[in-house]
Amino acid sequence: MADERRIHARTETRLSGTLRCGDDHVIGTIENIGVGGVFFATEDLEMLVEDGTDVTVEFAATTDDGETAVSCPGRVLRTERYFDGASVVRAFAIRFNEQIDLTAIRVAG
């Protein structure tokens, strides 16, 4: 099994985003982001995504030139389900295929 330890710092955020897998997608929240990946959470439990699945994370970010759409392909490292006090949430730790430049965008959500 691949080493799943985080090697890049993450920034806490509450950024709206979309997780795509093939023709399926769910809307959710990016809870933290780093140059190498995200932690994505959703209350939508219908989409079947397992560890090792290739996915794409999409979100809007602000740059010096305005708002831009960001699309980051990656792979699910692990999935979790937990109760957040209001509902059951499914969360995904996702490693991007390529690092992104967070210095050029603002993603504070």
**pLDDT tens track, the chain, 109 positions:** 444 555 666 778 889 999 999 999 999 999 999 999 999 999 998 888 999 999 999 999 887 888 889 999 999 999 999 888 889 999 999 999 999 988 777 765 5
35, two tokens = 């140059």
Q: Which domains are assigned to the chain? A: 11-96 (2.40.10.220)
Rounded Cα distance between 32 and 15, Å, is 8
* pTM for the full predicted model: 0.86
